[in-house]
Structure 1
Amino acid sequence: MIKNVFLKNLLIGSVFKGISGVNQFIPKNDQKILLYSDLGFRDNVKYLYDYLIQHNYNEKYQIICAVKGYQKFTGSAPKNVVFTRPFSGIFAYLRTTHVFYCFGKLPISATRKQKVIQMWHGTSFKGFAQNQTQTGANANSFYTYVYASSPYFVPIVARKFNVDRNHVAICGHPRTDVFYEPKANYALGDFKKILVWLPTFRQSKRLGQTDTKQDSILPFLADSELAHFNDYLQEKDVKVIVKLHPMQDVSEIDHAGWKNLVLMSNSEFEKSGMDLYRLLNLSDGLLTDYSSVFYDYLLLDKPIGFTESDVEEYEKKRGFAVDPDKFRPGQRIRQQADLRLFIENVITGNDAFKPDRKKINLIANRNQNGTNSEQSLKLSDIHM
């Protein structure tokens, strides 16, 4: 990933412009599917891949996964599946009809025969970080479609990706399809309630981004207070699984012996063998802050607690793509007492925000039947 906007635009206008020209003359293979992600084999590309394999699309199509960390999957690749590095995705792109992105993109202009789809990895809630999405270049030629989860988000997506509205397709995230499948059998233990906490990162050296100051792993709780919070959860017979953002580091916190507050780095979560969205399907409630995961969680119609320890500062520095007051269908948590109240409400079943969730769910998620992977393949004219 190139985070320097000037350098990125320079490459798009020179090297990739030349590649785009060459791309127009290279024959495309309609039996090839390219799944591209420069932040690992996860999220929508992984869920779409799972759908393709489960429904035997690899019997007809060659599936090329150009993903960071590809080495972990090369030895166990099914028939007609190839794992390779993201850079090699450039060469696969030039001969492939069907292309799907989730993290990043190849700034190559598509031909008329190609279907290039940007699924992205979340419905917009946070404001637009210039060095993450827009590059200043008109992106209409890069994408056949960019996904919006509902008509409400079409103009927001068009602006975010710098495309015309006719390049925006209404489709939800393939990752949410698992909400409509049989529940996973994870050994989570016997607790009254299980909550999942997904905090948003504030600072990223990799992305050169600082949204707000971040002094502790979790809001309202100093790192030195986490052990006491674990004791509180033990008294309430509640388990809170904190799946940290890939950019967060928990290595300096001695949490191995905790049973009720489980802090999991991204690598630890991957080693656990659990799938995030299948875990969400097993949970009784969600804690998050500015992550777009709450839009997806609305499909489950379960309580959501929104931590807002720095909402004013965050709005000034990063901003929001939507009205943060309107799109908050859950308890707003601004101090530790609010956090405990949310947990108490989940325990007792006191759910005052159910009507609000229904309202926002109708605005944010048009497809509510678990067919987003199927719809994705239809948009790319992929058939068995």
Structure 2
Amino acid sequence: MESVVNRLLTYLIGLINQYVPKSSSVLLVGTPPEEANIVEIGRQASRWRGGRVYWVDAPDDDYLAALGIRGQDIVRILSRHRGRVLWRFLRARIVFFTHGVLGQPAPAPTQLVVNLWHGEGPKGGGKLFPTRRLKSQPASMMVGQCSAMSDYMADLGDIDPGRMRWLGYPRSDQLRRGVAAERLEALGIERPYVVWMPTYRRAGTPEGGVAWSNTTDVASDEGLGSGLVDAVGLLQDQGLAVIVKPHPLDIVNREVPGAITIDDGTLRRAGIGLYELLGSAAGLISDYSAVWVDFLVTDRPIAFHVADEPAFRSGRGALPPAFDMPLPGPDLSAAGALEDFIRDLSGTATAWPAERARVRAALGLHEEPGSAERVWRTVLSELRRCGGRCPAAM
């Protein structure tokens, strides 16, 4: 019954949205609020002088300033003030979101609603908005970074393929910026480092329970960290630190002896973007997360810790284009794989740079810098092109 009511509310908001006059304003909705795609669009929008920029649960001014955004250039809205969020959505000429907004009401013909989403990786899971079930489009356009994934993402996002825009994710700008050495030292990072950034297998609730599960084997999930103990030691012997960046939804403690654990709160207090941290990394240890696809633009070594692959595939599943191909780095469960990764990190590997190039080409990864500005300019251009009336979404 609740889903039916929510669906009806979303439909009614979309219907009302068709008739409310739009102001020259922008609404930003990211989850979490410091998600790098929304932050980088926030950098672009905050420099715009064409109207006001409203940002739901925007990070604090110190964090924004560290990322080059002046607090006075945006208007902060709290998500708990749902009436105000609704009004700003109804009045906005441009809306950007990363995970959804208000159940994804139908955009108005005088409005551009942009689904930035937050990754084109191997994780399966079905539709992006499984409970929506409306005939209208949930967005005016959707941004992607891999041309080979475009049709999949259009289908998952319930959007016409012609509304997909292959522009690259705005967060790739942070990968190219990186972090100054003195700011890394404030986090206790004093030498080159590798980041292990596992996706979650089981999402936690605020009370400590399990909200949902993407695995069929709890033991394999809980044992992932112990499977990296030897790797951490060997990497440290090579003069490398290992950073563990857990997923904010993860119910499992991912700490590994000898590694430095850095969570979202630590990065927020330090005024460092997650993708800036990744941008200064010597390499990445990944799994089914979209982060390794993003990281390919750096052309730095990637290894894979997927000891629980059967349990994850039978739980959440995987999208074919991004995972049913030879990976651009060694699987650490294979004999000699860690040593192979270390050779790649030292610049003596011969095969993996070519494999990374092959995978970038196979995915059709957008590699040109300046993605955030490209997305922003494309949106403004589309508004000018359609003369204030965009393709109908209802």
Measured against the shorter chain, the TM-score band is 0.7 to 0.9
SS at match of 2:143: strand
Q: Indicate which of 209, 212, 215 corresponds to 2:212.
A: 209
- Asked if the contact 2:22/2:111 (under 8 Å) is kept, the reply is yes
- Judged with a 3 Å threshold, the aligned counterparts in structure 2 of structure 1 residues 177 and 277 are, in CA distance, closer, same or farther, namely same
Deviation larger for 18-27 or 272-281: 272-281
Tell me the CA shift for residue 20 of structure 1.
Answer: 1.9
Deviation of residue 140 (structure 1)? 4.3
Equivalent of residue 293 in structure 1, options 288, 291, 294: 291
**Aligned counterpart in structure 1 of residue 110 of structure 2, from 113, 123, 130:** 113
Any conservation in 2 of the 1:194–1:241 contact (CA below 8 Å)?
yes
**Cα gap change, 1:140 to 1:368, in 2 (>3 Å):** farther
Q: Which stretch shows the higher mean deviation, 112-121 or 373-382?
A: 373-382
Structure 2 CA distance for partners of 1:51 and 1:182, relative to 1, 3 Å: farther
Q: Distance in 2 between matches of 1:341 and 1:367?
A: 27
Q: Is the 8 A contact 2:121 2:288 kept in 1?
A: no
Change (3 A) 1:167 1:230: closer
Aligned partner letter, 1:137: R
Q: How does 1:335-354 map to 2 (within 5 A)?
A: 338-339=337-338, 341-343=340-342, 345-347=344-346, 349-354=348-353
Summarize the alignment of residues 44-83 of structure 1 with structure 2, pairs less than 5 Å apart: 44-53=37-46, 56-57=47-48, 59-67=49-57, 78-83=71-76
Aligned counterparts, 1:363-378, within 5 A: 363-378=362-377
Q: Secondary structure at the match of 1:332?
A: coil
Within a 5 Å distance, the mapping from 1:168-179 to structure 2 comes to 168-179=164-175
Identity value in percent: 20
Secondary structure in 2 matching 1:195: strand
Change in CA separation of 1:243 and 1:312 when aligned onto 2, cut-off 3 Å: same
| Conserved? CA contact 1:330–1:356, under 8 Å | yes
Match of residue 267, structure 2, among 254, 266, 269: 269
Q: Distance in 1 between matches of 2:195 and 2:254?
A: 22
- Other structure's SS at 2:304 match: strand
- 3-state DSSP of counterpart to 1:240: strand
User: Per-residue deviation at 1:174?
Assistant: 0.3
Q: Which moved more, 1:232-241 or 1:70-79?
A: 70-79
The alpha-carbon distance between structure 1 residues 199 and 301, as it changes in their structure 2 partners (threshold 3 A), is: same
Please say if 1:7 is aligned against 2:2.
yes
1:166 to 138, 153, 162: 162
The aligned amino acid for 1:102 is T
- What is the aligned length? 366
For the 8 Å contact 2:44–2:376, the answer to whether it is kept is: no
Shift of 1:244: 0.9
8 Å CA contact 2:175, 2:295 repeated in 1: no
Residues 1:271 and 1:135: Cα distance change in structure 2 (over 3 Å): same
Which structure carries more strand by proportion? 1
Gaps of 5+ in 2: 385-394
Q: How far apart are the structure 1 equivalents of 2:85 and 2:41?
A: 17
Q: CA deviation at 1:364?
A: 3.0
Aligned to 1:222: 226
**Preserved CA contact (<8 Å) 1:184 1:279:** no
1:17 equivalent among 11, 15, 19: 11
In the aligned structure 2, how far is the partner of 1:9 from the partner of 1:277? 38
TM-score, scaled to structure 2: 0.81
Give the partner amino acid of 2:169: H
- Structure 2 residue identity aligned to 1:355: A
Quote how far apart the aligned CAs of 1:182 are: 7.2
Aligned to 2:133: 137
After superposition, what is the alpha-carbon deviation per residue over 1:270-301, rounded to whole angstroms, capped at 9, x for unaligned? 22332222222211111011111111111111
1:2-57 CA distance string (max 9 Å, x none): xxxx7345312x2222222221221101x20100124333221111112333xx21
For the aligned residue pairs, the C-alpha RMSD in angstroms reads: 3.3
1:157 aligns with 2:147: no
Instruction: After TM superposition, give the deviation of residue 126 of structure 1 in Å.
Output: 0.7
**Is the counterpart of residue 240 in structure 1 residue 230 in structure 2?**
no
Residue deviations 1:95-143 (CA, integer Å, cap 9, x gap): 110000012223211111100000001013210255x533351464321
Q: For residue 371 of structure 2, what is the amino acid of its counterpart?
A: N
Alpha carbons of 1:137 and 1:250: their partners in 2 closer, same or farther (altered >3 Å)?
A: closer
Q: How does 1:36-47 map to 2 (within 5 A)?
A: 36-47=29-40
Q: Distance in 2 between matches of 1:339 and 1:142?
A: 44
Query: What's the TM-score, normalizing by structure 1?
Result: 0.83
More relative contact order, 1 or 2 (CA 8 Å, 6+ apart): 2
C-alpha contact 2:150 2:161 (8 A) present in aligned 1:
yes
8 Å CA contact retained: 1:158, 1:165: yes
For residue 313 of structure 1, what is the aligned residue in structure 2?
311
User: Is contact 1:128-1:160 (8 Å) kept?
Assistant: no
CA distance in 2, matches of 1:218, 1:327: 26
CA–CA distance in structure 2, aligned partners of residues 201 and 338 of structure 1? 23
Question: Is 1:329–2:328 an aligned residue pair?
Answer: yes
8 A contact 2:146–2:364 mirrored in 1: yes
My pick for the range that moved more, 371-380 or 94-103, is 371-380
Task: Tell me if structure 1 keeps the 8 A contact 2:174–2:276.
Answer: yes
Q: 1:209–1:182: structure 2 CA closer, same or farther, 3 Å change rule?
A: closer
Structure 1 position 214, deviation (Å) = 4.5
Could you give the per-residue CA deviations for residues 339-384 of structure 1, whole angstroms, max 9, x where no partner exists?
4552354236324211121122123354322222122223322699
